[in-house]
Structure 1
Amino acid sequence: MKRTFVYAMFALTTALIACGGGNSAGTDKTPAAEPAKEEAKSGENPSYDPKRGEGKFTHVDVPPALNAAMAENGNKTYKLKCESCHKLTEEKLVGPGWKNVTQRHAPEWIMNFVTNTDEMLNKDPAAQAQLEICLVRMPNQNLSDDEARAVYEFMRKNDGVK
């Protein structure tokens, strides 16, 4: 019994040291703390904000009335690049349904997600939660800024904005 206890303590100590839980005398291998990130300089992307996600869109001007021409362009992009994975209802296909998406997320978040998909999936908790549900990473569709804005306008139309 005593021998089993000694072996268990040895194994635990070895595991802690291997995982960085212990330091040998005089050899602190703890990495230095990262310097505080400087505030973004003019024109640079400010630090991460979960309401807008990760990407270049910090403010999207969205008028109350729908831009029908822009929404139609967004519909064309949807049919070409989005429809195979996303339904316009709440039903999940490969990815989540789009019904009420503009009420769940800010326009900046949506546009950052569709233009900066990989970084959003790596960093944003809301995007990661969707990934856990859908189990498939959204591929980067290489949308231009104008296409992303048009898709957002189409999403607004789908959500009943007139």
Structure 2
Amino acid sequence: MRKLLILFSVSMSVLLYACDGASGDNTSSGNADNSSAAANNSAASYDPERGEGKFSNVELSDKLNTTIADAGEKVYGVKCAACHKLTDEKLVGPGWKGVTTRHKPEWIMNFVTNPDAMLDKDPKAQAMLEICMVRMPNQNLSDDDARSVLEFMRKNDGVQ
């Protein structure tokens, strides 16, 4: 028991030392001011309603397109089901129930096609990452696959 306690103490000390922001070489050139200004400009132009990506206007019909939703269900089965449940229960990633009521279609399509940039910039995506603790991998969905997944999400949320 004592060996376990010592091992734990040493491990925690190493972890705390490794996470210390004061350690390491903090020398930098004058480019830090330029990069922070660029980041501020980028943040100022970021639209949290649509996210980061090429989709800026996704037109949805009031009625569900069952053909597209069925195609999205197939994509879900191959690329999404391992991490996402269709309920509100978290698996690896968050559950999909209600996702189309929480996010705009542009945001969803930009997230599923561009998760890295979204996780880097979007506050809602970052909040989900804090809960799930695993970054969503880029599944390399085509635009058509992303649209199909969106329609399947709508079906899952009760759109008729």
Which interval holds the TM-score relative to the shorter structure? 0.7 to 0.9
- Range moving further from structure 2, 28-37 or 55-64: 28-37
The one-letter code sitting in structure 2 at the alignment partner of 1:81 is K
- Counterpart residue number, 1:69: 67
The one-letter code sitting in structure 1 at the alignment partner of 2:152 is F
Structure with the higher helix share, 1 or 2: 2
Q: 1:85 and 2:83 equivalent?
A: yes
1:4-153 correspondence runs (5 A): 31=33, 34=37, 47-153=45-151
> How many pairs were matched up?
131
Distance 2:73 2:156 in 1: 10
Unmatched runs of 5 consecutive residues or more in structure 2: 1-21
Equivalent position SS for 1:31? helix
Structure 1 residue 99, shift from structure 2 partner: 0.2
Distance 2:32 2:134 in 1: 36
* TM-score in terms of structure 2 length: 0.75
Equivalent position SS for 2:95? coil
The one-letter code sitting in structure 1 at the alignment partner of 2:102 is R
* TM-score in terms of structure 1 length: 0.74
Equivalent position SS for 2:33? coil
Large movers: runs of 4+ above 4 Å: 35-38
Q: 1:154 and 2:156 equivalent?
A: no
Structure 1 residue 34, shift from structure 2 partner: 3.5
Structure 1 residue 153, shift from structure 2 partner: 0.1
Distance 1:130 1:31 in 2: 30
- Counterpart residue number, 1:4: none
The one-letter code sitting in structure 2 at the alignment partner of 1:96 is P
How big is the alpha-carbon RMSD for the aligned residues of Structure 1 and Structure 2?
A: 2.4
The one-letter code sitting in structure 2 at the alignment partner of 1:63 is S
Distance 1:19 1:72 in 2: 53
Assess, with a 3 A threshold, how the Cα gap between structure 1 residues 29 and 105 changes in structure 2: closer, same or farther. Answer: closer
Distance 1:92 1:146 in 2: 26
Distance 1:83 1:56 in 2: 25
Max Rg structure: 1
